[in-house]
Amino acid sequence: MTDQTPPGGNGRPVNLTACDQSFAATVRKHAGTNFSACLHCKSCSGGCPFSEAMQHKPNGVIRLVQLGLRREALENDTMWICVGCHTCSVQCPMNIDIAAVMDALRHMALATNAELPQPDILTFHQAVLASIQTYGRTHKLDIMMRYKLKARDFFSDMNVGLRMLAKRKLDLTPSRVRQVEEVRALFDATVED
Amino acid sequence: MATSKLIDMAYFPGCSLATTAKESNASLIAYCRRIGVNLIELPDWNCCGSSSAHSLSRQLALDLASRNLAQIPEGLPLLVACPSCTLRLDEARHHLQTHATARTRFEANWNRPFDSGLKIVHFLELLENKTASNNSNGHCQSLNGLKFVPYYGCMLNRPPSIRSEKNLFGLMEKILAQLGAEPMRWSYHSKCCGTFLSVARPDAVVPLVNRIFENAVDTRAKCIVTACAMCHMNLEIRCTRKEKLPVLHFSELLSLAMGAGDHPDWFARHLIDPRPVLTTYGLLG
């Protein structure tokens, strides 16, 4: 595996005077894991099943954070591609919970309205939450419809959907919570927080 | 069949088992019954929050999980079928146990105190706690040397915070071997299935799933056995190879070995039909 991408990304030089000196400490506090111990051995990047689909490999993101390159760290797609399978955290010889760093970066990117390089993944998460807010449970057909409308992706996976319908694996009607207003109240309370 | 008294456990099926993976739910309940466990489904459970709540809001993830924890009859352990739901609910349990402010919010929301002794048990842990004889006691049908590869996906990956907890690796192989099936060795047992990327980035998931199948076929296994309904679905829908293997839920094989009679309903729901392979091994009818 080769990782040619320097910390600035796309071969751009890194201006270290522009670094945010407090960024690493903020991420560390949110993530609850000490990534300054990272050796850059790339065990995480070698083991990650989705390394190839990421702009920066997992250890590359750690490096961006260490250097205080806030914008680069919050506006690349790595933490959105990350599914939290913890393969990286298991393989890390320094016991760094890399998936927790990705969680922290995702939350910080949302909180600061950072530009999102993978809006479709966020669209998917939002479709799931909208389904939970409506029914209290996830309704796969509803999630797919919401996702496709917003992502403007109408035709992919039609055959998969039809095969699932034919096998009665995709229910037309949702499985619902009876006291769904209790669930909706949780969403309202989160917005207030 | 076990003759001892049934033990009660609270039960959280989760969205997948209630809908797309009904066959996993039915076979799991049937199997529990046969090993002496009576499952009491939470009366009005909601989605655990899944990866999406976790990705976007910690507070919402905790609140959604808490509403479920508040429905557990006092003193009963909670059995969870899905590895992802187990992780989300157990994270909430751990947070509530260690944060007084979270417990205050829990009490205000649900009008009952948080049970600090609460135990959350994944289906595999339940089997681990049974002795070998319990698991296979009274099984009516040998699995006749059915060659399989066990697929755990990410469920056994333990982040540093829970690294010292027990490792259930090897359990599916051990139990299915006791029931007469033959586990094959392979290197993809813990490879992630892609979970939610399957929707937004199938281009990233398809090659991964195809590699998993390729490796399974190379071992000469005749099926893949999963312990997670999400893995099951991704493997079934994202394999584009010509040569596929059927993917069975662990609970389906367990129940089949215990002589459960309603399996025709389960196997008809698979996108990759497992019946030809099971028939070859003399396991159907």
Chain B partners within 8 Å of A175 (Cβ): 15, 18-19
* pLDDT value, residue B2: 44
| pLDDT of residue B104 exceeding 70 | yes
Please, what is the average pLDDT of chain B? 91
* pLDDT value, residue B135: 56
Between chains, do A84 and B51 touch, taking CB under 8 Å as contact?
A: yes
| Helical segments of A2-76, H only | 23-31, 43-47, 58-67, 70-74
> What is the number of other CB atoms lying within 10 angstroms of the CB of residue B42?
18
> What is the number of other CB atoms lying within 10 angstroms of the CB of residue A192?
6
Q: Which residues pair with B92 in a beta bridge?
A: none
CA B142/CA A179 separation, integer angstroms: 45
Q: pLDDT tens across B45-77, in order?
A: 999 998 899 999 989 999 999 999 999 999 999
Between chains, do B195 and A83 touch, taking CB under 8 Å as contact?
A: yes
Give the A window 3-32 contacts with B, CB below 8 Å: none
* pLDDT value, residue B196: 93
B247 band by pLDDT with thresholds 50, 70 and 90: very high
Give, for A106, the enclosing helix (H) or strand (E): helix A98-111
Between chains, do A128 and B201 touch, taking CB under 8 Å as contact?
A: no
Residue of A nearest to B191 (CA): A49
Residue of A nearest to B188 (CA): A49
Closest CA–CA distance from residue A16 to any residue of chain B (Å):
30
Residue of A nearest to B53 (CA): A129
The share of chain B scoring above pLDDT 90, in percent, equals: 75
Chain B partners within 8 Å of A190 (Cβ): 57, 59-60, 63
Q: What are the structure tokens assigned to B252, written together?
A: 């389906």
CA A149/CA A40 separation, integer angstroms: 41
* pLDDT value, residue B136: 56
Mean pLDDT of B266-283: 95
Cβ of residue A172 closer than 8 Å to a chain B Cβ: no
CA A127/CA A134 separation, integer angstroms: 11
Identify from B16, B19, B104 which residue to disrupt to test chain A contact, counting A C-beta atoms within 10 A and taking the largest count: B19
Identify from B197, B205, B212, B267 which residue to disrupt to test chain A contact, counting A C-beta atoms within 10 A and taking the largest count: B197
Whole-model pTM: value is 0.91
Closest CA–CA distance from residue B4 to any residue of chain A (Å):
34
3-class SS of residue A93: coil
Question: Which residue of A122, A170, A183 is in closest CB contact with B67?
Answer: A183
CA B62/CA B77 separation, integer angstroms: 19
Selection from B87, B270, B241 nearest residue A167 by Cα: B270
Cβ of residue A95 closer than 8 Å to a chain B Cβ: yes
User: What single DSSP character describes residue A2?
Assistant: -
3-class SS of residue A22: coil
3-class SS of residue B165: coil
* CA distances, A192 to each of A180, A189, B9 (Å): 19, 5, 36
Between chains, do B199 and A144 touch, taking CB under 8 Å as contact?
A: yes
Q: Are B40 and B12 in contact (CB under 8 A)?
A: no
Mean pLDDT of A50-75: 95
Cβ of residue A85 closer than 8 Å to a chain B Cβ: yes
Q: pLDDT tens across B130-143, in order?
A: 755 555 556 678 99
Between chains, do A124 and B195 touch, taking CB under 8 Å as contact?
A: no
Helix, strand, coil percent content, chain B, rounded in steps of 5: 50, 10, 40
Chain A partners within 8 Å of B54 (Cβ): 84, 103
Q: Are B58 and B48 in contact (CB under 8 A)?
A: no
Q: What angle do CA B187, B191, B194 make, to 5 degrees?
A: 155
Question: Which residue of B19, B44, B204 is in closest CB contact with A171?
Answer: B19
Give the largest Cα separation in chain B, rounded. 58
Could you tell me the strand order of the sheet in which B182-183 lies?
Answer: B182-183, B147-151, B223-226, B247-249
Closest CA–CA distance from residue B210 to any residue of chain A (Å):
13
Q: pLDDT tens across A90-144, in order?
A: 999 999 999 999 999 999 999 999 999 888 999 999 999 999 999 999 999 999 9
Size of chain A, expressed as the number of residues it contains: 193
